[in-house]
Structure 1
């Protein structure tokens, strides 16, 4: 008999598909910024602009692009 797993214990319970390579790269960049002490949205945006990860459509990251993407990704 299999053991019951509570659904709320799944770290990815709302994920509909595996993350893309770009999403994984973005996540790593964000984690790196926080690991270096970044705490504010401005610090996050500056860190992303200093990384090799570009927003969809290219160009520089802005607070608006970042928050719109997070909404789209459901984060």
Structure 2
């Protein structure tokens, strides 16, 4: 008898590839910011700018840049 898998319990069911090291570092920085209570976009962006992780193109995080990146990574 085949074992039934529960696809709705797979947290990576829509993942097409493994995240890059930079994406994993960004995820960690976002998680740390949330853990510090930074739940609104301006506070989250400020926390990212205070962290070691920078946008791939360099410079500082902006609300527009962060939102565009999240949209891109979500596709």
Q: Using structure 2 for the length normalisation, give the TM-score.
A: 0.93
**How far 1:24 moved relative to its partner?**
0.5
In structure 2, runs of 5+ residues without a counterpart are none
Gaps of at least 5 residues in structure 1 are none
Alpha-carbon deviations, 1:24-56, whole Å to 9, x = none?
A: 000000000011111100010000000111112
The root-mean-square deviation of aligned C-alpha atoms, in Å, is 1.2
Moved over 2 A (4+): none
Q: TM-score, normalised by structure 1?
A: 0.93
- 1:6-34 C-alpha deviation (Å, 9 max, x unpaired): 22211011110011100000000000001
